[in-house]
Chain A
Amino acid sequence: MLLSETGQFSTCYAHDRRAFRLRQERVGLGLVLAFAFLVVPAWASDYWFSAILIPFLILSLAGLGLNLLTGYAGQLSLGSAAFMAVGAFAAYNFQLRIEGLPFLVSLALGGLVAALAGVVFGLPSLRIKGFYLIVSTLAAQFLVQWGLTKFGWFSNFNPSGVITAPPLTILGQDLSSPAGRYLLTLLVVTALFFLAGRIVRSDLGRNWMAVRDMDSAAAVIGIPVARSKLLAFAVSSFYCGVAGSLWAFTYLGTVEPHGFDLNRSFQVLFIIIIGGMGSILGNFLGAAFIVLLPLLLSNLGGSLLAGVIDQGHIENLQKILFGLLIILFLIREPDGLASLWRSLRARARVWPLRA
């Protein structure tokens, strides 16, 4: 009833291929976007912007980057944080060294540099498969972190290696307030999510899925496996790079290599496991989970268990709980939170007719 298709006909193939085929879905999406762009900035407090909403959006974007590579193209990566770091430092250096470069342009250029790095570390994927491939992305992880701390040029010879992000202005508008940074992040993230939705429905996305399901079979039916894999690395790293720049510029306000260590890569990986691999929506769900759970736990721990358990133990309990949740998800819901959403949606479509 709620999602009934009655009376909605596709009159051409383009209609059939749309991401949101039903009118109800398009209206719902419009409402969500209007809420995010118009209502949230007026209502949310600074704490919500800087501690919850901005990291949530950025982590969703990073998750999307990894999801394109792992969930759609089937190439396992443990180096997402490295590509985030490349994007952040590249964007910083473009801002620093080219006078008057608009922020969005350096964001895109940072993403492109990250894409280039992604292709370089993706090259071994042409020859090695499966688990052996994580050595390449781990090499990226350690090499990038080492290079960024080792060579002062990247951080403009700042002795601590931590650099302050320049003020954010777009078209003369100052966006340094929490609400402004939120809007900027939201704008970039929304645009890139729509783009990703198009990509996975295009030829390229289909090629990725074929390579993921079995690359020798894909090669046999004439899919350009090498090109698809490298493009997956490039596009994924572009997304991670942009997410990294946003992380540095709109979330933290500083750029430092240690924020992009292996733990960050794992965090992004958990987002896509919990959210759902091979799903666009899942990245939001997974990121929300990853951002909210620690807050919830420390609040709960702070109020309920105050005095009983000290702060260090809460961190350990959180770790244990995370591990348990990951295993639980893998066992009970291998397609992540996104599949819960899918089954809800399926129920809404057949609502009066279900058994």
Chain B
Amino acid sequence: MDFFLEVLIGGLLAGIMYSMVAIGFVLIYKASGVFNFAQGSMVLFAALTFVSLVERGFAFWSAFATTLGAMLALAWAIERGVLRPLVNRPPITLFMATLGVSFIIEGLAQLLWGAQVHGLELGIKDEPIDLGGILLSRFDLFAAGIAALLVLALSLLFSRTRIGLSLRSVASDPLAALATGIRVQRIWAVVWAVAGFVGLIAGLLWGARLGVQFSLSLVVLKALPVLIIGGFSSIGGAIVGGLIVGAGEKLAEVYAGPVIGDGLENWFPYVLALLFLLVRPAGLFGQRTIERV
């Protein structure tokens, strides 16, 4: 039983890491209806920039600030160069444009900073903690704490600030928001910048876990099933989806792995997401779409 709990909690904590990437998606999808495939490369870009700056002698906070500045510039460029010319196009077109964006960001990141693996040290020792007989990773607990802080900060931003208010109004009805004088395009840039910030945090945590390297951009493939389960438009959904995927994946790996062979963590989340979708076609917390003909 202890072993089961250990696997379960380890999985849940790992799932939070997936949620961190998924939250960036949700923010952008809510505000601009864009399914942003480039979120993974934004995570890579942020982590790579940060780590390269630290290696060049920047202190933690100045590297963090510089990277954040780069993410803001990126958000602005994406809004100007991609979203604005493609406004009012079908969602599928925008999705494919973000594929292009992810190519550009990945190429740029490696062109600027090289393709080798960088180690990233956040000063948290990854040693197990004993909690009532259950061994937990200290790093995973730290990541969960950061995620909780992040969600708290985002919900404060959304519910307590003017920008948050405009964000919510753009999300619920872009045309009406435009009519009341909100600058929709600026809000888009803000949202992409916030998503870039979330990407930076996720990039630091993932980079500390796996090392900063190209494969970091593949976390987008882990975040997809999380989003699907949680629904594209709910931050809470992204958290719950991450927990489900993380726990399901770990449990399947430990208990089903010996039976049908290892390496199933690549596809298991997708099959899990598919099962959820068959029951709830818009995810657990997604908005049901009502179609008019």
Nearest CB in chain A to that of B263: its residue: A146
**A273 in the interface (beta carbon within 8 A):** yes
A132, A217, A319: the one contacting B107 at CB < 8 Å is A319
Query: Measured between C-beta atoms, what is the minimum distance from B220 to chain A in Å?
Result: 11
Alpha-carbon gap, A323 to B109, bound state (A): 13
The answer to whether A319 and B86 touch across the interface, beta carbons within 8 angstroms, is no
> Would you give 8 A-B contacts (Cβ < 8 Å), ordered by A?
A132-B281, A138-B270, A142-B266, A143-B267, A316-B108, A320-B111, A327-B101, A334-B93
Give the distance to chain A from B65, nearest Cβ to Cβ, in Å: 26
B103 at the interface (CB under 8 A from A): yes
Closest B residue to A321 by beta carbon equals: B107
A205 to B255, CA, bound (A): 46
The prevalent SS among residues of A at the interface is: helix
The answer to whether A334 and B89 touch across the interface, beta carbons within 8 angstroms, is: yes
Give the complex CA separation of A138 and B273 in angstroms: 11
Listed in ascending order, the chain B residues whose CB lies under 8 Å from chain A are 35, 81-82, 85-86, 89, 91-93, 95-97, 99-108, 110-111, 115, 221, 224-225, 228, 232, 261, 263-264, 266-267, 270-271, 273-274, 277-278, 281-283, 291, 293
Instruction: List chain A positions with a Cβ less than 8 A from chain B.
Output: 76, 124, 127-132, 134-136, 138-139, 142-143, 145-146, 149-150, 214, 216-217, 220, 262, 266, 269, 273, 312-313, 316-320, 322-327, 330-331, 334
B103 interface neighbour in A149, A216, A320, Cβ under 8 Å? A320
B158 CB to closest chain A CB (Å) equals: 23
Chain B residues lying within 8 Å of A130, measured Cβ to Cβ, are 91-92
For A127, list chain B residues within 8 Å (CB): 277-278, 281
Least CB distance from A128 to B in Å reads 5
Contact A131 B35 (CB under 8 A): yes
A316 to B214, CA, bound (A): 12
Q: How far is the CA of A273 from the CA of B86 in the complex (A)?
A: 15
A130 to B111, CA, bound (A): 34
Question: A322 near B277 (CB under 8 angstroms)?
Answer: no
- Bound-state Cα–Cα, A128 to B273, Å: 12
Cross-chain contact A323 with B270 (CB below 8 angstroms): no
